[in-house]
Amino acid sequence: MAQTLFDKIWNQHTVAVSDGGSALITIDRVFLHERTGAAALKRMAEMGRAVLDPARVFAVMDHIVDTRIGRGDDTLMPGGSGFITETRAACREAGIRLFDVNDRDQGIVHIISGEQGIVLPGLTLVAPDSHTCTQGAFGALAWGIGSSEAEHAMVTSTLRLERPKTMRVRFEGELSFGVTAKDMILTLIAQHGAGGGAGHVVEFAGEAVKALDMEARMTLCNMATEFSAMTGIIAPDAKTFEYVSGRPLAPADFDDPAWAELVSDAGASFDREITIDASQIAPMVSWGTSPEQAIAIDGKVPGGPARAHEYMDLPAGQTLEGIALDAAFIGSCTNSRISDLRRAASILHGQHIAPSIKKALVVPGSLAVKRQAETEGLDKVFEAAGFEWRMSGCSLCFYAGGEGFPEGSRTISSTNRNFEGRQGPGIRTHIASPETVAASAIAGAIADPRAYAKEKA
Amino acid sequence: MTAFPQPFSSIAAPLMRDNVDTDTIIPSREMRSTGRDGLADGLFAPWRYVEADAREENPEFVLNQPPYRDAKLLLTGANFGCGSSREHAVWALAEWGIRTIIAESFAPIFRNNCVRNFILPITLRRPLVEDLAGAEVAIDLCDQTISCARTSYPFEIDAEAKQMLLHGLDAINLTLKQSDAIHDWLAADRPSRPWVYLEHTQ
Ligand code: SF4
């Protein structure tokens, strides 16, 4: 019978199916970070339990670490160094590989997983972090869990799960100039709701997805959790295998016919199918406090929940373009890979951010991305434009109580969540692509990146 | 760990918003240690307090209102618990005393985290959720019914979650009973996917 890519990975990893219908699924990789991982490791130790196969568990310091140049274990976040030192001790105790604060391979978990070849096509991978779905871009079944489930995965190399439903989202046609994977996923969520993917694994397919490079595919899968999906997945192809080969923990070659099997068979049926015309997508910007409250940049704020209008201080009918901004952020597991930085830098080249922008940060997704950007001179472009250039980490993708944006700021951000207070108490966040952030920082107001990119052409 | 209490009854506190995210349930800055305790004080901090640092209560927030201060049952809208996977959100709710959440729908990671911590997540159609606001509600998990003075409804829950909640079962111990099957699976898998099995690199 024709199977979906998800079915193949799921079936292969099934140890047993219980009478109640749930399956015991083996987990090939677990990845922890210091924010939620220490709690899981600590609890395991309290219960006298050990990691079954420590060589397949990894941890990184990314969430709480400072991104100041010259950082160490101290953090601007009050109490943050406790998370760092406890995580380090717990990893040593458990015998798991840690990418420490200043390890040359440190970076945001979902970025370094690909860089290191930890995630591979066809694997199951879990992390106590909702954006683990990012790694579905490799054709792996990768999803976010809680701390208790992370313990379960480490102790037993399995998880017990209800079988999710399947959905295929096809983006057909070609993206227009200035439109990116970020705009694709925001369009899907805006059209089908932040709960639209609930209970499903979403396979992204279609011409416009095939045309994306690996980094853009990661951006697309990254926000599957904002769609409430269990995860997103993209069938691996030549681009995937090319990206993966030669990575430190990846196999030497991909000739085994098993790799070529990692696709949904022709005629495989999905519980739900959605098709989106990629050529109709415009650069998207969120106006409200849920990622579903996003519209094309040249649109007007629609009527939504009163609370969202109130928090964002934007009435229905207001034009999005031209709304004055106080801060700009380029970073996060959504958009901080080298291609993101290149595109933003090409808009910022020879330009300067508006004087009204009180804080503008670029935070590379990993130290490897940082080094590459510096080799290309991108750091100089950002700095000349008025952005601060940082060490890698999650940074102001979320507010942890230390560094923040100036009080009351309205920010434009290449991140994935525009929730109330996500970037700090009272901070109003507009999420968008890195090029939209760059263009808006120059304008000092929400701006259409196409106008800025064209000027350069 | 404590199983879901039976019999259970509580006043139903309405927080009828959609997309309530885990950053709001427990903001990152309220997670001050790597433990699971001391989180109740920061529960819903952005909404519960007018001024979070001074801990000045917002009288308009449902859990600050007299009938609901001791509520063990929360009613809410669609996609409750979306956002960050932090289990701290569930630990904070549990420490505060919430044992049941009735929502139009839940974010999937949050729902699993609830069951692991013996909080009962129930999904009901919106009008039925709204109908329970302010009522004293009894829940019979064995029979899968929700009742208040006016009415009673059945609810769905999957068989395994029900057993875990009813008996306070530890999921890891349950799985460890299948260790042999897991080891057999791993032994058979290793030769066919050698790249999955890494050498220790620490
Ligand atoms: S960058 Fe943001 S979304 Fe990504 S893992 Fe870090 S905190 Fe989470």
Closest ligand 1 atom number to CA of residue A331: 1
Average pLDDT, chain A: 96
The b-or-e profile of A347-358 (16+ CB within 10 A means b, else e) is: bbbebebbeebe
The position carrying tokens 């568990």 is A57
CA of B64 from ligand 1 middle (Å) equals 32
Task: Compute, in degrees rounded to 10, the torsion defined by CA atoms A388, A389, A394, A400.
Answer: -40
Interface residue B28 vs chain A (CB under 8 A): yes
In terms of CA atoms, which chain A residue is nearest residue B192? A258
Instruction: List chain A residues with CB under 8 Å of B179.
Output: 156
Task: Compute, in degrees rounded to 10, the torsion defined by CA atoms A24, B80, A197, A34.
Answer: -60
Do A158 and B175 make contact, defined as CB atoms within 8 angstroms? yes
Ligand 1 within 6 A of CB of A398: yes
B127 membership: H or E segment, kind and range: helix B126-131
pLDDT for res A159:
97
Given a cut of 60, whether residue A151 has pLDDT beyond it is yes
- What confidence tens digit (pLDDT) does each residue in A272-318 have? 999 999 999 999 999 999 999 999 999 999 999 999 999 999 999 99
Facing B23 at nearest CB: one of A199, A307, A398 = A398
Interface residue B181 vs chain A (CB under 8 A): yes
Across A146-174, average pLDDT: 96
**Positions of E strands within A18-63:** 23-26, 29-33, 57-60
Given a cut of 50, whether residue A456 has pLDDT beyond it is no
Instruction: List chain A residues with CB under 8 Å of B24.
Output: 419-421
What gap in Å lies between CA A114 and CA A58, rounded to an integer? 13
CA dihedral for A145, A38, A27, A112, sign (positive or negative): positive
- Please tell me the residue having the least CA distance from ligand 1 atom 4: A333
Ordered by where they begin, the domains of chain A are: 5-161 (3.30.499.10), 165-280 (3.40.1060.10), 285-456 (3.30.499.10)
Nearest to B32 by CA among B81, B91, B78, B79: B91
Strand partners, A172: A277
Reported confidence tier of residue A457, pLDDT bands at 50, 70, 90 = very low
Nearest to A378 by CA among A345, A344, A329: A345
What gap in Å lies between CA A324 and CA A447, rounded to an integer? 10
The residues near A66 (Cβ < 8 Å, ≥ 6 apart) are A74, A75, A76, A77, A80, A391, A393, A402, A403
**DSSP line for A326-362:** SEEEE-TTTS-SHHHHHHHHHHHTT----TT--EEEE
Task: Compute, in degrees rounded to 10, the torsion defined by CA atoms A170, A174, A177, A181.
Answer: 20
Instruction: Determine the longest span between alpha carbons in chain B, in angstroms.
Output: 63
Facing B79 at nearest CB: one of A18, A55, A195 = A195
For chains A and B, count residue pairs whose Cβ atoms are closer than 8 Å. Answer: 184
What gap in Å lies between CA A242 and CA A368, rounded to an integer? 18
- What confidence tens digit (pLDDT) does each residue in A348-405 have? 999 999 999 999 999 999 999 999 999 999 999 999 999 999 999 999 999 988 899 9
Instruction: Decide: A203 and A6 in contact? Cβ < 8 Å.
Output: yes
- Please tell me the residue having the least CA distance from ligand 1 atom 6: A394
ipTM: 0.93
pLDDT for res A255:
85
Instruction: Decide: B175 and A148 in contact? Cβ < 8 Å.
Output: no
What gap in Å lies between CA A167 and CA A188, rounded to an integer? 13
Calculate how close chain B gets to A187, using CA atoms only, in Å.
18
Calculate how close chain A gets to B149, using CA atoms only, in Å.
32
- What confidence tens digit (pLDDT) does each residue in A82-111 have? 999 999 999 999 999 999 999 999 999 999
Do B84 and A54 make contact, defined as CB atoms within 8 angstroms? no
B32 or A430, which is more confident = A430
For residue B103 the two structure tokens come to 């929502």
**Where is average pLDDT lowest: A3-7, A316-320, A452-456?**
A452-456
CA dihedral for A152, B113, A62, A367, sign (positive or negative): positive
Q: Suggest the residue from A123, A148, A156 to mutate for an interface test with chain B (most B CBs closer than 10 A).
A: A148
Instruction: List chain A residues with CB under 8 Å of B46.
Output: 420-421, 425
Eight-class DSSP state of A140: -
Eight-class DSSP state of B85: -
In terms of CA atoms, which chain A residue is nearest residue B180? A15
What gap in Å lies between CA A96 and CA A426, rounded to an integer? 39
Interface residue B172 vs chain A (CB under 8 A): yes
Ordered by where they begin, the domains of chain B are: 8-169 (3.20.19.10)
Instruction: List chain A residues with CB under 8 Å of B113.
Output: 146, 148-149
Q: What is the pLDDT along chain B (202 residues), one digit of tens a residue?
A: 589 999 999 999 999 999 999 999 999 889 888 888 899 999 999 999 998 788 999 999 999 999 999 999 999 999 999 999 999 999 999 999 999 999 999 998 999 999 999 999 999 999 999 999 999 999 999 999 999 998 999 999 988 899 999 999 999 999 999 999 999 999 999 999 999 999 875 4
Facing A39 at nearest CB: one of B35, B117, B158 = B35
pLDDT for res A401:
86
Facing B85 at nearest CB: one of A22, A82, A130 = A130
What gap in Å lies between CA B186 and CA B184, rounded to an integer? 5
Facing A155 at nearest CB: one of B116, B117, B172 = B172
What gap in Å lies between CA A446 and CA A411, rounded to an integer? 10
Instruction: List chain B residues with CB under 8 Å of A157.
Output: 182, 186
A-contacting residues in B 83-142 (Cβ below 8 Å): 83-88, 90, 105, 107-109, 112-113, 116-117
CA of A35 from ligand 1 middle (Å) equals 11
Across A173-201, average pLDDT: 97
CA of B60 from ligand 1 middle (Å) equals 32
Cα B128-B27-A57 angle, rounded to 5 deg: 100
For residue A127 the two structure tokens come to 């992390």
Across A209-228, average pLDDT: 98
Do B178 and A16 make contact, defined as CB atoms within 8 angstroms? yes
Instruction: List chain A residues with CB under 8 Å of B199.
Output: 55
The residues near B144 (Cβ < 8 Å, ≥ 6 apart) are B154, B155, B156, B157, B162
For residue A434 the two structure tokens come to 């890195």
In terms of CA atoms, which chain B residue is nearest residue A254? B195
What gap in Å lies between CA A199 and CA B128, rounded to an integer? 22
